[in-house]
Chains A and B, each alone.
Chain A
Amino acid sequence: MNQEHLAVYEVFVRSNRGLDHKHVGSLHAESPEHALMYARDCYIRRSEGVSIWVVESSNITASTESDVENFVEPMDDKPYRHATHYVLPEKVKNM
Protein backbone atom coordinates (compact mmCIF):
# COMPACT_ATOMS: atom_id res chain seq x y z
CA MET A 1 0.00 0.00 0.00
CA ASN A 2 2.82 2.39 0.39
CA GLN A 3 4.78 4.60 -1.86
CA GLU A 4 7.42 5.68 0.62
CA HIS A 5 10.18 3.89 -1.24
CA LEU A 6 9.86 6.42 -4.00
CA ALA A 7 11.81 9.44 -2.88
CA VAL A 8 10.29 12.92 -3.03
CA TYR A 9 12.00 15.31 -5.43
CA GLU A 10 11.56 19.06 -5.67
CA VAL A 11 11.21 20.36 -9.21
CA PHE A 12 12.60 23.64 -10.54
CA VAL A 13 11.81 24.88 -14.02
CA ARG A 14 13.46 27.58 -16.11
CA SER A 15 10.61 28.88 -18.19
CA ASN A 16 12.75 30.77 -20.66
CA ARG A 17 16.39 31.30 -21.39
CA GLY A 18 17.69 34.14 -19.30
CA LEU A 19 15.42 33.45 -16.34
CA ASP A 20 16.14 31.71 -13.06
CA HIS A 21 14.94 28.23 -12.32
CA LYS A 22 11.82 28.50 -10.23
CA HIS A 23 10.36 25.99 -7.81
CA VAL A 24 7.15 24.52 -9.23
CA GLY A 25 6.32 21.57 -7.00
CA SER A 26 7.46 18.07 -6.23
CA LEU A 27 7.01 14.49 -7.36
CA HIS A 28 7.88 10.93 -6.42
CA ALA A 29 10.50 9.00 -8.32
CA GLU A 30 12.91 6.13 -7.94
CA SER A 31 16.05 7.93 -9.06
CA PRO A 32 17.17 11.42 -10.04
CA GLU A 33 17.11 10.39 -13.70
CA HIS A 34 13.52 9.23 -13.42
CA ALA A 35 12.60 12.30 -11.45
CA LEU A 36 13.87 14.39 -14.33
CA MET A 37 11.80 12.46 -16.85
CA TYR A 38 8.69 12.61 -14.70
CA ALA A 39 9.23 16.31 -14.20
CA ARG A 40 9.18 16.64 -17.96
CA ASP A 41 5.95 14.64 -18.22
CA CYS A 42 4.24 16.18 -15.19
CA TYR A 43 5.35 19.80 -15.09
CA ILE A 44 6.02 20.95 -18.65
CA ARG A 45 3.20 19.34 -20.60
CA ARG A 46 2.58 22.70 -22.23
CA SER A 47 6.24 23.51 -22.89
CA GLU A 48 6.37 25.64 -19.74
CA GLY A 49 10.11 25.19 -19.52
CA VAL A 50 13.39 24.96 -21.35
CA SER A 51 15.36 23.45 -18.51
CA ILE A 52 14.58 21.46 -15.37
CA TRP A 53 16.38 20.81 -12.09
CA VAL A 54 15.32 18.12 -9.68
CA VAL A 55 16.72 17.61 -6.23
CA GLU A 56 15.78 15.10 -3.58
CA SER A 57 13.80 17.01 -0.97
CA SER A 58 15.83 15.54 1.86
CA ASN A 59 18.92 17.19 0.42
CA ILE A 60 17.54 20.65 0.90
CA THR A 61 18.61 22.52 3.99
CA ALA A 62 16.14 25.24 4.77
CA SER A 63 15.93 28.10 7.20
CA THR A 64 12.94 27.96 9.50
CA GLU A 65 10.57 30.58 10.68
CA SER A 66 11.89 30.41 14.22
CA ASP A 67 15.23 31.49 12.82
CA VAL A 68 13.81 34.63 11.39
CA GLU A 69 14.72 36.81 14.33
CA ASN A 70 18.43 36.00 14.25
CA PHE A 71 18.76 34.94 10.70
CA VAL A 72 16.83 37.34 8.54
CA GLU A 73 15.97 40.37 10.61
CA PRO A 74 19.56 41.56 11.19
CA MET A 75 19.64 42.19 7.47
CA ASP A 76 16.88 44.72 7.94
CA ASP A 77 18.96 47.45 9.53
CA LYS A 78 21.29 48.16 6.69
CA PRO A 79 19.33 50.68 4.68
CA TYR A 80 22.59 52.00 3.23
CA ARG A 81 22.67 48.89 1.05
CA HIS A 82 19.70 50.21 -0.92
CA ALA A 83 19.92 52.93 -3.54
CA THR A 84 16.90 54.70 -2.11
CA HIS A 85 18.96 55.49 1.00
CA TYR A 86 20.81 58.21 -0.87
CA VAL A 87 19.30 61.51 -1.83
CA LEU A 88 20.43 62.80 -5.18
CA PRO A 89 20.87 66.51 -5.82
CA GLU A 90 17.84 67.61 -7.73
CA LYS A 91 19.67 68.50 -10.88
CA VAL A 92 20.90 64.93 -11.22
CA LYS A 93 17.71 63.18 -12.22
CA ASN A 94 18.94 59.65 -12.61
CA MET A 95 21.80 57.56 -11.36
Chain B
Amino acid sequence: MISMDTKTIDEAVELAKFEQKIANEEKIEPSDWMPEAYRKNVIRQMSQHAHSEIIGMQPEGNWITRAPTLRRKAVLLSKVQDEGGHGLYLYSATETLGITRSEMIEALQSRKAKYASIFNYPTLTWADIGAIGWLVDGAAIVNQISLQRTSYGPYARAMVRICKEESFHQRQGYEIMYELAHGTPVQKQMAQDAMNRFWWPSLMMFGPHDADSAHSGQSILWKVKRESNDFLRQKFIDQSVVQIEVLGLELPDPEIVWNEERGHYDSGPIDWDEFKRVINGGGPCNYQRIKHHKKAHQEGEWVREAVRAYRLKQQTKNVA
Protein backbone atom coordinates (compact mmCIF):
# COMPACT_ATOMS: atom_id res chain seq x y z
CA MET B 1 0.00 0.00 0.00
CA ILE B 2 2.72 2.38 1.01
CA SER B 3 4.72 1.74 -2.14
CA MET B 4 1.64 2.30 -4.29
CA ASP B 5 1.00 5.60 -2.62
CA THR B 6 4.56 6.66 -3.13
CA LYS B 7 4.25 5.68 -6.75
CA THR B 8 1.12 7.75 -7.16
CA ILE B 9 2.75 10.71 -5.50
CA ASP B 10 5.88 10.32 -7.60
CA GLU B 11 3.79 10.14 -10.72
CA ALA B 12 1.85 13.21 -9.78
CA VAL B 13 5.11 15.08 -9.25
CA GLU B 14 6.51 13.84 -12.54
CA LEU B 15 3.32 14.71 -14.36
CA ALA B 16 3.41 18.21 -12.96
CA LYS B 17 7.02 18.60 -14.11
CA PHE B 18 6.11 17.25 -17.53
CA GLU B 19 3.21 19.62 -17.89
CA GLN B 20 5.37 22.48 -16.77
CA LYS B 21 7.85 21.72 -19.52
CA ILE B 22 5.09 21.65 -22.11
CA ALA B 23 3.75 24.94 -20.79
CA ASN B 24 7.24 26.50 -20.94
CA GLU B 25 7.71 25.37 -24.56
CA GLU B 26 10.55 23.12 -23.45
CA LYS B 27 11.07 19.99 -25.53
CA ILE B 28 10.40 16.55 -24.13
CA GLU B 29 13.46 14.37 -24.65
CA PRO B 30 13.66 10.57 -24.91
CA SER B 31 14.91 9.85 -21.41
CA ASP B 32 12.38 12.16 -19.75
CA TRP B 33 9.45 10.86 -17.80
CA MET B 34 6.29 11.19 -19.86
CA PRO B 35 2.71 10.02 -19.46
CA GLU B 36 2.09 6.73 -21.18
CA ALA B 37 -0.64 8.32 -23.26
CA TYR B 38 1.78 10.97 -24.50
CA ARG B 39 4.28 8.32 -25.51
CA LYS B 40 1.58 6.41 -27.37
CA ASN B 41 0.27 9.54 -29.02
CA VAL B 42 3.70 10.55 -30.28
CA ILE B 43 4.52 7.03 -31.44
CA ARG B 44 1.22 6.90 -33.32
CA GLN B 45 1.75 10.21 -35.03
CA MET B 46 5.44 9.75 -35.82
CA SER B 47 5.19 6.21 -37.08
CA GLN B 48 2.21 7.14 -39.20
CA HIS B 49 4.31 9.95 -40.61
CA ALA B 50 7.23 7.59 -41.26
CA HIS B 51 4.98 5.03 -42.96
CA SER B 52 3.57 7.78 -45.17
CA GLU B 53 7.06 8.63 -46.39
CA ILE B 54 7.82 5.00 -47.12
CA ILE B 55 4.52 4.11 -48.81
CA GLY B 56 4.72 7.44 -50.61
CA MET B 57 7.78 6.15 -52.45
CA GLN B 58 5.56 3.80 -54.46
CA PRO B 59 3.23 6.05 -56.47
CA GLU B 60 6.13 8.25 -57.56
CA GLY B 61 8.46 5.30 -57.92
CA ASN B 62 5.97 4.09 -60.50
CA TRP B 63 7.35 6.71 -62.91
CA ILE B 64 11.10 6.59 -62.25
CA THR B 65 11.80 4.27 -65.17
CA ARG B 66 9.48 6.29 -67.42
CA ALA B 67 10.60 9.83 -66.59
CA PRO B 68 10.68 11.73 -69.88
CA THR B 69 14.19 13.24 -69.71
CA LEU B 70 17.44 12.36 -68.02
CA ARG B 71 17.21 15.40 -65.80
CA ARG B 72 13.66 14.52 -64.73
CA LYS B 73 14.79 10.97 -64.07
CA ALA B 74 17.61 12.12 -61.79
CA VAL B 75 15.33 14.57 -60.00
CA LEU B 76 12.57 12.06 -59.47
CA LEU B 77 14.89 9.31 -58.27
CA SER B 78 16.58 11.62 -55.81
CA LYS B 79 13.21 12.85 -54.64
CA VAL B 80 11.83 9.38 -54.03
CA GLN B 81 15.10 8.45 -52.37
CA ASP B 82 14.66 11.47 -50.10
CA GLU B 83 11.26 10.14 -49.07
CA GLY B 84 13.01 6.97 -48.01
CA GLY B 85 15.52 9.09 -46.13
CA HIS B 86 12.73 10.95 -44.39
CA GLY B 87 11.12 7.69 -43.45
CA LEU B 88 14.45 6.71 -41.95
CA TYR B 89 14.80 9.94 -39.94
CA LEU B 90 11.30 9.44 -38.60
CA TYR B 91 11.68 5.75 -37.78
CA SER B 92 14.91 6.66 -36.08
CA ALA B 93 13.23 9.41 -34.04
CA THR B 94 10.36 7.09 -33.13
CA GLU B 95 12.75 4.39 -31.95
CA THR B 96 13.88 6.76 -29.21
CA LEU B 97 10.52 6.02 -27.56
CA GLY B 98 11.30 2.35 -27.11
CA ILE B 99 9.59 0.85 -30.12
CA THR B 100 11.63 -0.97 -32.76
CA ARG B 101 11.49 -0.44 -36.49
CA SER B 102 10.37 -4.04 -37.01
CA GLU B 103 7.46 -3.49 -34.66
CA MET B 104 6.48 -0.45 -36.66
CA ILE B 105 6.80 -2.30 -39.96
CA GLU B 106 4.73 -5.12 -38.53
CA ALA B 107 2.03 -2.63 -37.54
CA LEU B 108 2.07 -1.14 -41.03
CA GLN B 109 1.84 -4.47 -42.78
CA SER B 110 -0.94 -5.73 -40.55
CA ARG B 111 -2.76 -2.44 -41.16
CA LYS B 112 -2.80 -1.53 -37.49
CA ALA B 113 -0.84 1.59 -38.33
CA LYS B 114 -2.08 4.02 -40.93
CA TYR B 115 -0.33 6.16 -43.50
CA ALA B 116 -1.40 9.18 -45.51
CA SER B 117 -4.44 8.15 -47.45
CA ILE B 118 -3.39 10.07 -50.56
CA PHE B 119 -0.90 7.37 -51.48
CA ASN B 120 -3.77 5.01 -52.08
CA TYR B 121 -4.49 6.80 -55.34
CA PRO B 122 -2.74 5.67 -58.52
CA THR B 123 -0.30 7.75 -60.58
CA LEU B 124 -1.75 7.39 -64.05
CA THR B 125 0.14 9.94 -66.10
CA TRP B 126 3.41 11.85 -65.92
CA ALA B 127 1.46 14.92 -64.82
CA ASP B 128 0.55 13.03 -61.65
CA ILE B 129 4.20 13.24 -60.68
CA GLY B 130 3.98 17.00 -61.03
CA ALA B 131 0.73 17.15 -59.09
CA ILE B 132 2.09 15.02 -56.26
CA GLY B 133 5.26 17.04 -55.88
CA TRP B 134 3.39 20.30 -56.00
CA LEU B 135 0.18 19.55 -54.09
CA VAL B 136 0.93 16.55 -51.92
CA ASP B 137 4.39 17.66 -50.88
CA GLY B 138 3.04 21.18 -50.65
CA ALA B 139 0.36 20.08 -48.22
CA ALA B 140 2.87 18.00 -46.31
CA ILE B 141 5.22 20.96 -45.98
CA VAL B 142 2.49 23.20 -44.58
CA ASN B 143 1.90 20.56 -41.95
CA GLN B 144 5.57 19.85 -41.31
CA ILE B 145 6.54 23.47 -40.87
CA SER B 146 4.14 23.67 -37.96
CA LEU B 147 5.54 20.39 -36.62
CA GLN B 148 9.03 21.85 -36.33
CA ARG B 149 7.65 23.23 -33.06
CA THR B 150 6.23 19.92 -31.86
CA SER B 151 6.92 19.17 -28.20
CA TYR B 152 8.83 15.94 -28.71
CA GLY B 153 12.48 16.85 -29.30
CA PRO B 154 13.58 14.13 -31.74
CA TYR B 155 10.40 14.66 -33.80
CA ALA B 156 10.97 18.41 -33.96
CA ARG B 157 14.58 17.94 -35.03
CA ALA B 158 13.64 15.40 -37.71
CA MET B 159 11.07 17.89 -38.99
CA VAL B 160 13.65 20.65 -39.27
CA ARG B 161 15.87 18.43 -41.39
CA ILE B 162 12.96 17.18 -43.49
CA CYS B 163 11.57 20.65 -44.17
CA LYS B 164 14.96 21.79 -45.36
CA GLU B 165 15.13 18.92 -47.83
CA GLU B 166 11.54 19.07 -48.99
CA SER B 167 11.59 22.54 -50.40
CA PHE B 168 13.01 21.15 -53.64
CA HIS B 169 10.30 18.48 -53.78
CA GLN B 170 7.49 20.92 -54.14
CA ARG B 171 9.37 23.08 -56.61
CA GLN B 172 10.25 20.23 -58.92
CA GLY B 173 6.59 19.21 -58.94
CA TYR B 174 5.47 22.71 -59.75
CA GLU B 175 8.09 22.94 -62.47
CA ILE B 176 6.68 19.80 -64.10
CA MET B 177 3.17 21.26 -63.93
CA TYR B 178 4.34 24.57 -65.32
CA GLU B 179 6.06 22.94 -68.26
CA LEU B 180 2.95 20.89 -69.03
CA ALA B 181 0.52 23.74 -68.53
CA HIS B 182 2.52 25.79 -71.01
CA GLY B 183 3.06 22.93 -73.42
CA THR B 184 0.78 21.47 -76.07
CA PRO B 185 -3.01 21.22 -75.49
CA VAL B 186 -2.54 17.51 -74.78
CA GLN B 187 -0.02 18.30 -72.07
CA LYS B 188 -2.14 21.03 -70.59
CA GLN B 189 -5.07 18.65 -70.42
CA MET B 190 -2.83 16.12 -68.71
CA ALA B 191 -1.89 18.71 -66.10
CA GLN B 192 -5.48 19.78 -65.54
CA ASP B 193 -6.62 16.20 -65.14
CA ALA B 194 -3.86 15.39 -62.65
CA MET B 195 -4.60 18.46 -60.57
CA ASN B 196 -8.31 17.72 -60.56
CA ARG B 197 -7.69 14.21 -59.28
CA PHE B 198 -5.14 15.15 -56.61
CA TRP B 199 -6.74 18.33 -55.34
CA TRP B 200 -9.37 16.82 -53.08
CA PRO B 201 -7.21 14.06 -51.64
CA SER B 202 -4.61 16.76 -50.89
CA LEU B 203 -7.17 18.69 -48.86
CA MET B 204 -8.06 15.49 -47.03
CA MET B 205 -4.41 15.08 -46.00
CA PHE B 206 -4.98 17.62 -43.25
CA GLY B 207 -7.43 15.25 -41.62
CA PRO B 208 -11.07 15.67 -40.55
CA HIS B 209 -12.55 19.02 -39.60
CA ASP B 210 -11.44 20.12 -36.14
CA ALA B 211 -14.82 19.34 -34.66
CA ASP B 212 -14.63 15.71 -35.84
CA SER B 213 -10.96 14.96 -35.24
CA ALA B 214 -10.48 12.11 -32.80
CA HIS B 215 -6.90 12.77 -31.67
CA SER B 216 -6.57 16.46 -32.28
CA GLY B 217 -7.65 17.82 -28.89
CA GLN B 218 -5.11 16.01 -26.75
CA SER B 219 -2.36 16.39 -29.37
CA ILE B 220 -2.83 20.14 -29.38
CA LEU B 221 -2.84 20.31 -25.57
CA TRP B 222 0.41 18.38 -25.44
CA LYS B 223 1.74 20.49 -28.29
CA VAL B 224 2.47 17.40 -30.35
CA LYS B 225 0.36 19.08 -33.00
CA ARG B 226 0.75 22.83 -33.12
CA GLU B 227 -2.01 23.96 -35.44
CA SER B 228 -5.47 22.63 -36.10
CA ASN B 229 -6.37 20.65 -39.22
CA ASP B 230 -8.69 23.33 -40.55
CA PHE B 231 -6.21 26.14 -39.97
CA LEU B 232 -3.50 24.35 -41.93
CA ARG B 233 -5.90 23.31 -44.68
CA GLN B 234 -6.99 26.90 -45.16
CA LYS B 235 -3.39 28.00 -45.37
CA PHE B 236 -2.79 25.43 -48.08
CA ILE B 237 -5.85 26.47 -50.09
CA ASP B 238 -4.89 30.11 -49.90
CA GLN B 239 -1.37 29.52 -51.15
CA SER B 240 -2.46 27.10 -53.88
CA VAL B 241 -5.04 29.30 -55.58
CA VAL B 242 -2.41 31.80 -56.66
CA GLN B 243 -0.20 28.99 -57.92
CA ILE B 244 -3.06 27.53 -59.96
CA GLU B 245 -3.68 30.92 -61.53
CA VAL B 246 -0.04 31.21 -62.54
CA LEU B 247 -0.30 27.81 -64.20
CA GLY B 248 -3.33 29.03 -66.10
CA LEU B 249 -5.35 25.97 -65.17
CA GLU B 250 -9.01 25.96 -64.19
CA LEU B 251 -9.69 25.79 -60.48
CA PRO B 252 -10.42 22.23 -59.41
CA ASP B 253 -13.29 23.41 -57.22
CA PRO B 254 -15.86 25.81 -58.76
CA GLU B 255 -16.81 27.02 -55.30
CA ILE B 256 -13.42 28.55 -54.60
CA VAL B 257 -14.00 32.26 -54.14
CA TRP B 258 -12.19 35.01 -52.26
CA ASN B 259 -13.91 36.00 -49.02
CA GLU B 260 -12.96 39.55 -48.26
CA GLU B 261 -14.38 39.44 -44.79
CA ARG B 262 -12.43 36.36 -43.69
CA GLY B 263 -9.36 37.26 -45.68
CA HIS B 264 -9.32 33.72 -47.03
CA TYR B 265 -10.64 31.69 -49.93
CA ASP B 266 -13.90 29.87 -49.35
CA SER B 267 -14.15 26.44 -50.94
CA GLY B 268 -16.59 23.62 -51.54
CA PRO B 269 -17.38 20.73 -49.21
CA ILE B 270 -14.97 17.82 -48.94
CA ASP B 271 -16.35 14.35 -49.57
CA TRP B 272 -15.65 12.83 -46.16
CA ASP B 273 -17.30 9.56 -47.10
CA GLU B 274 -14.59 9.05 -49.67
CA PHE B 275 -11.95 9.97 -47.08
CA LYS B 276 -13.28 7.36 -44.67
CA ARG B 277 -13.61 4.75 -47.36
CA VAL B 278 -10.03 5.21 -48.57
CA ILE B 279 -8.45 5.42 -45.14
CA ASN B 280 -10.25 2.26 -44.13
CA GLY B 281 -8.88 0.29 -47.04
CA GLY B 282 -11.30 1.08 -49.84
CA GLY B 283 -9.02 3.21 -52.01
CA PRO B 284 -7.88 2.05 -55.43
CA CYS B 285 -4.36 1.13 -54.28
CA ASN B 286 -4.55 0.27 -50.56
CA TYR B 287 -4.15 -3.42 -51.21
CA GLN B 288 -1.41 -2.93 -53.77
CA ARG B 289 0.69 -0.62 -51.57
CA ILE B 290 0.82 -2.99 -48.64
CA LYS B 291 1.37 -5.95 -50.92
CA HIS B 292 4.33 -4.19 -52.53
CA HIS B 293 5.80 -3.37 -49.14
CA LYS B 294 5.39 -6.93 -47.89
CA LYS B 295 6.85 -8.38 -51.04
CA ALA B 296 9.99 -6.22 -50.89
CA HIS B 297 10.33 -6.99 -47.21
CA GLN B 298 9.91 -10.72 -47.70
CA GLU B 299 12.30 -10.82 -50.62
CA GLY B 300 14.86 -9.05 -48.46
CA GLU B 301 14.53 -11.58 -45.68
CA TRP B 302 17.28 -13.87 -46.94
CA VAL B 303 19.60 -10.88 -47.29
CA ARG B 304 19.00 -9.78 -43.71
CA GLU B 305 19.40 -13.38 -42.53
CA ALA B 306 22.71 -13.65 -44.35
CA VAL B 307 23.90 -10.41 -42.82
CA ARG B 308 23.05 -11.67 -39.35
CA ALA B 309 24.70 -15.05 -39.96
CA TYR B 310 27.85 -13.40 -41.27
CA ARG B 311 28.00 -11.05 -38.33
CA LEU B 312 27.66 -13.90 -35.85
CA LYS B 313 30.40 -15.85 -37.61
CA GLN B 314 32.70 -12.85 -37.48
CA GLN B 315 32.01 -12.33 -33.79
CA THR B 316 32.76 -15.98 -33.05
CA LYS B 317 35.96 -15.70 -35.05
CA ASN B 318 37.03 -12.61 -33.18
CA VAL B 319 36.40 -14.23 -29.82
CA ALA B 320 38.33 -17.37 -30.78
Contacts and interface: CB of A to CB of B under 8 A. Distances in A.
Interface size class of B (residues with CB under 8 A): 20 to 34
Nearest to A7: B311
A5 B32 CA distance: 27
Contact of B95 (A1, A24, A26, A46): A26
A29 B140 CA distance: 29
Interface in B15-38: 29, 31-33
A65 B32 contact: yes
Contact of B92 (A1, A5, A27, A66): A27
A1 B307 CA distance: 14
A31 B312 CA distance: 11
Contacts of B32: 65
B163 interface: no
A45 B85 CA distance: 9
Given A3-B100, A3-B105, A6-B304, A46 B92 contact: no
A81 to B, nearest CB: 24
Contacts of A64: 31
Interface in B147-182: 158, 161, 165
Interface residues of A, number: 22
A26 B96 CA distance: 10
A30 interface: yes
A27 B88 contact: yes
A30 B310 contact: yes
Determine which residue in B29, B85, B314 has the highest number of CB atoms from chain A within 10 A of its CB, and name it: B85
A5 B308 contact: yes
- Residue of B33, B301, B304, B310 contacting most chain A CB atoms (<10 Å): B304
A19 interface: no
Contacts of A1: 102, 105-106, 297, 301
B93 interface: yes
Interface in B282-310: 297, 301, 304, 307-308, 310
Query: Which of A3, A4, A30, A66 has the most chain B CB within a 10 Å cutoff?
Result: A3
Contacts of A65: 29, 31-33
A28 B101 contact: yes
Contacts of A87: none
A25 B93 contact: yes
Given A3-B100, A4-B100, A25 B82 contact: no
18 contacts: A1-B102, A3-B105, A5-B304, A5-B307, A6-B304, A6-B307, A6-B308, A25-B89, A25-B161, A26-B92, A27-B92, A28-B101, A30-B308, A30-B311, A31-B311, A45-B78, A45-B85, A46-B165
Closest 9 CB pairs of A and B: A5-B308, A2-B102, A26-B92, A30-B307, A3-B102, A25-B92, A65-B32, A64-B31, A30-B311
